[in-house]
Structure 1
Amino acid sequence: MRRKSSICIAGGGSTFTPGIVLMLLENQDRFPIKRITLYDNNAERQEKLAKACAIMMKEKAPEIEFNYTTDPETAFTGIDFVMAHIRVGLYAMRELDEKIPLKYGVVGQETCGPGGIAYGMRSIGPVIEIADYMEKYSPDAWLLNYSNPAAIVAEATRRLRPGKRIINICDMPVGLETTMATILGLQSRKEMEIRYYGLNHFGWWTSIKDKDGNDLMPKLKEHISQYGYAVNTEDFQHKDASWQETYTKAKDVFALDPNTLPSTYLKYYLYPDYVVKHSDPNYTRANEVMDGREKTVFGQAAKIIENGTMKGNEFAVGVHASFIVDLACAIAFNTKERMLLIVENNGAIENFDPTAMVEIPCIVGKDGPEPLAMGKIPTFQRGLMTEQACVEKLVVEAWIEGSYQKLWQAITLSKTVPSASVAKQILDDLIEANKDYWPTLK
């Protein structure tokens, strides 16, 4: 009989929360649950989803204790895992992250360039706060963090809370591997064994084989060289236009190094002029999400509450939800599953900064992740990664020290930004926009 776990989902008001709850319920055979608690500091937003989740829980798993709260002691006492996906400032601030850089002809994106830096400066404090609540109320619990921007948050947790039970994860590679499996005609990405290295939203696959050791890279390279990661499936056709374009653009990113398969996010660093030219400064990805997923999920929740039943209004489960259950399972039951995680390098990439937080395959068991050695990486990738890792380190140093200078340096160093003067203009606008969220910079 497997031990039941108690879960806290931090960011209970997120549109992804119902999908995570549903995924937890659907996987009780391998990951049994005693209690699920939603936690958010925005009571009104959380309640709209939590009441619908309560109905879902009652219909699907009435034996599981369910509650939601804004009180840290209630949320974090007696739990085994915190699954954190907070968005500080919600989509109103994401919109500014995207539109302020675009005003200056610079990439406006939530995790890349100045927008990602702004979001990182907002996220560091609240993620550390969650870690401290856990230390106080459930010191043996694990924090599974996929709050964005994951790279900056991971560096912050390394610097500010070293040695704690914190694992930083991202679902981007999982989503792309699912697409790769579709291209290959496989049932699941878990039929593939991969080698990959990079930083979060900044990496490359170097090997993809099936379980019998057959090389799957040639077929993937042939497809990606022509179509990027675009696939002719109904699911892909329903993706927002911005995502369809991003998947297609991967063919141009691939052309720079046809020996590897790239992360889609590399387009923001390698083709920033193209990205800006194809961006609408008045209607960005944040607007797409607010007009799309936000309205859809909250609309579903309202119908469930009004009808008093889930029937006819099932929530969707995203790839990130299944990934986080896999991770929790691996820790709880020592499954030794192989997973891509964000961990301190410590020589796993031989010719790269040992203190950098890199995204590489790890074997995961009850003691957390054990990184796999990736050897030496090529000069092109090492150069790009070194620049970006230094950006992330400077952002965290700027947050810790309250340093205007270091944040200006971070934005200037970003490959998406053309000059120090443009970086300064963007920074000054971001400081004004984030005055309620950032530490005071001097």
Structure 2
Amino acid sequence: MTKTIKIVTIGGGSSYTPELVEGFIKRYHELPLRELWLVDIEEGKEKLEIVGNLARRMFQKARLPVKVHLTLDRREALQGADFVTTQFRVGLLDARAKDERIPLKYGVLGQETNGPGGLFKGLRTIPVILEIVEDMKELCPEAWLVNFTNPAGMVTEAVLRYSDHRRVVGLCNVPIGMEMGIAKLLKVDYSKVRIDFAGLNHMVYGLDVYVDGVSVKDRVIEFLTNPENASFVKNIQGQGWEPEFIRALGVLPCPYHNYYYKTREMVEKEIKNAATLGTRAEVVKKLEDELFELYKDPELAIKPPQLEKRGGAYYSDAAVRLISSIYNDKRDIQPVNTINNGAIASIPNESAVEISCVITKEGPKPVVMGDLPIPVRGLVQQIKSFERVACDAAITGDYNKAVLALTINPLVASDTIAKKIVNEMMEAHKKYLPQFH
């Protein structure tokens, strides 16, 4: 008899959960899920119940014998789990809105995973993820942690560096979104496209692109000289690259590189949006209210198409594909966040990188990429320094290190401004930063 699987999702009341459930339904033939435990906190209880009931209706409609459990008790859920997925937000969307608005007052980008927003989301999240890992070591030591919580690279770095739990993989939907976008540009089936990814989370580059094993990188770079082809994800609309720049760069940037290579334009755009439409968190809040109204409908038993606007498209594909490949020892190639182990020569071996990996039952085995090209190497190393100092600050509660981390970040570029932003954000997020107070 085939072994059945228990999966726990922490942050189960998230609007993304129906994405995940759809993924489990699609791949049920290769991933015999028995129990899905959705875990949340007291503040998320109502949403957990709405999402949980939708999940039950989805499995019922698909005629699958999956039992959905809802709980606010993480430890109860983790007992004997095979996989644990994390998709939580400490401080909810209100905290994200502060991360976005406060830096803009200082003319600095306010964004969920980059610059000050990325730092403070990391400071709030890392202590919590390490508590989850401690519980897993006791209650389900053989389980794999598949982390989708942002900043995914920094969170993976912290688990690798400050715990001895090695069964951890960080996941992001940006690489899969890039592959899907390029397949559309080239008018080929997505299954034919493969990209050699290397770098860090939200700082990853496509070093080469293949269709049926033949490199088409130069052709794709030409496509990217057209501004209409420049963005692959819903929540970041860039202005398009200067053709001379993108040709000379010689590799594919990800959408988040707009924040680094078009900093001034992106800050101006964010300031304008914040004053008119609201920050991204405020827009998402409205979207989520609409989504949860839809989710309440007792007749709804599928993932509603409106969820695509939320910015996490392909998340279920990426997450469930990864879980299935570990479970079935598929040895296919997927981009994930994992320990470098020499795959990228210019990043420390013990650090987390985002890289194409062969996915096995022992976890991801990075494809050795050698050194990053000179034009991108320095920026990737600078962001890795920022991540490492930020992790250190999160663990120690050292205020000085928080100021240092933000000053190292290329989006801030002034120790005086960094200190002012840190002071204001420390105060704004006081409730979720006990290690500093």
Category of TM-score, reference length = shorter chain: over 0.9
Superposed counterparts of 1:152-191, under 5 Å: 152-188=154-190, 190-191=191-192
Question: 5+ unaligned residues in a row in structure 1: which ranges?
Answer: none
TM-score w.r.t. the length of structure 2 is 0.92
Contact between 1:106 and 1:416, CA under 8 Å: does it hold in 2? yes
| Deviation, structure 1 residue 313 | 5.7
The reply on whether 1:350 has 2:350 as its aligned counterpart is: no
* Cross-structure match for 1:365: 360
Q: Secondary structure at the match of 2:338?
A: strand
Same amino acid, percent of matched pairs: 31
The reply on whether 1:92 has 2:94 as its aligned counterpart is: yes
2:151 to 149, 152, 164: 149
The reply on whether 1:298 has 2:282 as its aligned counterpart is: no
In structure 1, give the amino acid aligned to 2:274. Answer: P
* Cross-structure match for 2:32: 32
Aligned partners of 1:26 and 1:251: how far apart in 2? 40
| Deviation, structure 1 residue 251 | 5.5
Q: CA RMSD in A?
A: 2.2
Deviates further, 120-129 or 101-110:
120-129
Contact between 1:69 and 1:75, CA under 8 Å: does it hold in 2? yes
Q: Secondary structure at the match of 1:147?
A: coil
* Cross-structure match for 2:383: 388
Superposed counterparts of 1:128-277, under 5 Å: 128-188=130-190, 190-211=191-212, 213-227=213-227, 229-230=229-230, 243=236, 245-246=237-238, 248-250=239-241, 255=246, 257-277=248-268
Structure 1's 259 and 230: CA in aligned 2 closer, same or farther, altered over 3 A? closer
Aligned partners of 1:314 and 1:249: how far apart in 2? 27
Structure 1's 127 and 440: CA in aligned 2 closer, same or farther, altered over 3 A? closer
| Deviation, structure 1 residue 350 | 1.7
**Cα deviation per residue 1:338-377 (whole Å; 9 max; x = unaligned)?**
1111122222112333233211111111100111110122
Aligned partners of 2:347 and 2:158: how far apart in 1? 19
Deviates further, 411-420 or 128-137:
128-137
**Cα deviation per residue 1:390-426 (whole Å; 9 max; x = unaligned)?**
1101111111211110000001111000311110110
Q: Secondary structure at the match of 1:278?
A: helix
Q: Secondary structure at the match of 1:436?
A: helix
| Deviation, structure 1 residue 230 | 4.8
Contact between 1:224 and 1:254, CA under 8 Å: does it hold in 2? no
Matched residues, number = 427
Structure 1's 21 and 58: CA in aligned 2 closer, same or farther, altered over 3 A? same
Aligned partners of 1:155 and 1:92: how far apart in 2? 25
| Deviation, structure 1 residue 142 | 0.7
Q: Secondary structure at the match of 1:422?
A: helix
Contact between 1:97 and 1:110, CA under 8 Å: does it hold in 2? yes
Contact between 1:253 and 1:267, CA under 8 Å: does it hold in 2? no
Q: Secondary structure at the match of 2:205?
A: strand
Question: 5+ unaligned residues in a row in structure 2: which ranges?
Answer: none
TM-score w.r.t. the length of structure 1 is 0.91
